[in-house]
Amino acid sequence: MRVRLTIEYDGTAYAGWQRQENALAVQQVVEEALRKLTGHEHTITGASRTDAGVHAFGQIAHFDAIGRIPAEKYAYALNTVLPDDVRIRASQEVPDDFHARFSAKGKWYRYCIYNDAHASAILRNTHAHVMYPLDIEAMRREAAYAVGTHDFNAFAASGSVVKDTVRTIYSVEVEKHEQKVEIHVKGNGFLYNMVRILAGTLIGVGTGKLEEGAIRRALETGSRLDLGMTAPARGLTLMEVYYNA
Amino acid sequence: MRVRLTIEYDGTAYAGWQRQENALAVQQVVEEALRKLTGHEHTITGASRTDAGVHAFGQIAHFDAIGRIPAEKYAYALNTVLPDDVRIRASQEVPDDFHARFSAKGKWYRYCIYNDAHASAILRNTHAHVMYPLDIEAMRREAAYAVGTHDFNAFAASGSVVKDTVRTIYSVEVEKHEQKVEIHVKGNGFLYNMVRILAGTLIGVGTGKLEEGAIRRALETGSRLDLGMTAPARGLTLMEVYYNA
């Protein structure tokens, strides 16, 4: 039986999603919880390899269950053994050909900024601090250049070896509630660090350090240098992964 | 020169606001930052003695500054030496008769609930988890009984020695955004644990475990037993302290 998990985590204490040597990853934490629960080794596959410090509200993962626990009970059972910065929001049985990563049709990411002279104590782990006032309208104008189907080669982190860098961005929305600014990005796929480079570029334009049109120029030139900094990991949250119904 | 500080803190790691033996309080952390900064011992006085695990967005404190730092520079200077779960949002000079606690005319508290079958990983330190669905309209009806000038004796934590238990609650608002429920309480003053008992009572009514009218009955009988549990500290945030302009 293949089981699909919807996983929320605060990535602050973790070296990212993917299991690795010498550092604790969320994947490992969930696999160890499955072992505690069932006595069996399971390998889980996540939809997105979120980086160290990046959070997820709706990471999706699948595994092939060994044992007799009903699929929908895994959420409750795993939450009794997981640390409280990792929670299973839902578990359900899926067809054997469901694959958390390869079946995904798109993703929704949120990038959170705390825009004030001083950083926030309460939101320090989920919001990047920007001390200069952000021009939200300029950020929205800039964001519009990213929407659509483009070759996002300029947004690929240096050293990336992905061949096909064409992606479709469905929407980029910039919302502001008092000191909190949220950038919501939805698309069919994202290159490594692409959302953080997009957020850093919108921050650059919003503070006036980057000239408007940076994204338009970068899409033409393909040059990473036309874009802003890679915004800090802690502001990023994987909100939802989309699949065909 | 008397200086007023506006202080934000994540109370998770602290034994509350007030300095005490054998446990780290926010007051001590700020006093130590002042000593590091100025080389002098200062005593700071806070408006509210928040409990262990309770947060503040707008705690107010005052101290009599020794040294030549301009009042408005304390925020920037203190933030360079404070831990990142305590931030000074603003500092300003105030008249010598300003007293953070005795000059206060009222306060605004927020109580945050995460209402879902599973607790939240990301919001675990600021939101109390309620797994049973909350009837928001029932909570709003119940909240209305608390508004006005009443003897809140029933809301006084057991063992409390306060004589005058009459307080005026200006408003109690219950807001819901997806899984997040926020209770906003504004009043001229609050007894120890009063907001957490109010929140626990609204949660009790919202889940159907307490009959509606519990607050009306408790205000008549003066009995703590008519009310709900004391809701967990982590859901509570002191948002703002009011003073005469």
B10 noted as active-site residue:
no
**Beta A180-187 vs A106-115: how paired, if at all?**
antiparallel
In sequence order, the 6+-apart residues with CB closer than 8 A to the CB of B137 are: none
Cα torsion at A73, A76, A81, A86 (round to 10°)? 120
Contact predicate B224/B193, CB 8 Å: no
Going by the DSSP 8-state scheme, the letter that residue A127 receives in this structure is: -
Q: Tens digit of pLDDT for each residue in A66-90?
A: 988 999 999 999 999 999 999 999 9
Lowest mean pLDDT among A46-55, A194-203, B153-162: B153-162
**Beta B55-64 vs B236-242: how paired, if at all?**
parallel
Minimum distance, in Å, between the CA of residue B117 and any CA atom of chain A: 8
- Amino acid code (one letter) for B85: D
Number of other residues whose CB lies within 10 A of the CB of residue B114: 21
Take residue A60 and report the two structure tokens written for it: 């999706």
Mean of pLDDT over chain B: 96
Take residue A125 and report the two structure tokens written for it: 């782990």
Is the CB of B225 inside 8 Å of chain A's CB atoms? no
Set A51, A85, A116, A135: catalytic member:
A51
Question: Does A160 have pLDDT greater than 80?
Answer: no
Average pLDDT of the residues in A213-217: 97
- Model pLDDT, residue B245: 72
Question: Does B234 have pLDDT greater than 90?
Answer: yes
Take residue B72 and report the two structure tokens written for it: 């408005």
Q: How big is the CA angle at A65 (ends A59 and A66), to the nearest 5 degrees?
A: 150
Contact predicate B24/B14, CB 8 Å: yes
Lowest mean pLDDT among A179-193, B26-40, B63-77, B150-164: B150-164
Contacts 24+ apart (CB under 8 A), B76-79: B76/A117, B76/A118, B77/B37, B78/B5, B78/B30, B78/B33, B78/B34, B78/B37, B79/A118, B79/A119
Percent pLDDT > 70 in chain A is: 98
Take residue B173 and report the two structure tokens written for it: 């608002």
Pick the residue from chain A with its C-alpha nearest to B76: A118
Is the CB of A9 inside 8 Å of chain B's CB atoms? yes
- Model pLDDT, residue A137: 98
- Model pLDDT, residue A104: 97
Q: Measured between alpha carbons, how far is B26 from B15 in angstroms, rounded to an integer?
A: 8
Say if the Cβ atoms of B84 and A119 lie within 8 Å: yes
A110 CB-side CA count, 13 A: 18
Question: Does B161 have pLDDT greater than 80?
Answer: no
Q: How big is the CA angle at B162 (ends B143 and B8), to the nearest 5 degrees?
A: 65
Is the CB of B179 inside 8 Å of chain A's CB atoms? no
* Of the candidates B23, B24, B19, the residue with the CA atom closest to the CA atom of residue B61: B19
End-to-end CA distance of chain A: 19
In sequence order, the 6+-apart residues with CB closer than 8 A to the CB of B131 are: B115, B116, B117, B118
Q: Measured between alpha carbons, how far is B239 from A68 in angstroms, rounded to an integer?
A: 48
B interface test, pick of A6, A8, A127 with most B CB neighbours within 10 Å: A8
Contact predicate B84/B53, CB 8 Å: no
Contacts of A76 in chain B (CB under 8 A): 117-118
Q: Tens digit of pLDDT for each residue in B59-116?
A: 999 999 998 899 999 999 999 999 999 999 999 999 999 999 999 999 999 999 999 9
Q: Which residues of B167-183 are buried (b: 16+ CB within 10 A; e: fewer)?
A: bebeebebeeeebbbbb
Phi, psi for A38 (deg, rounded to 5): -110, -20
Strand, coil or helix: what is B45? strand
- Model pLDDT, residue B156: 85
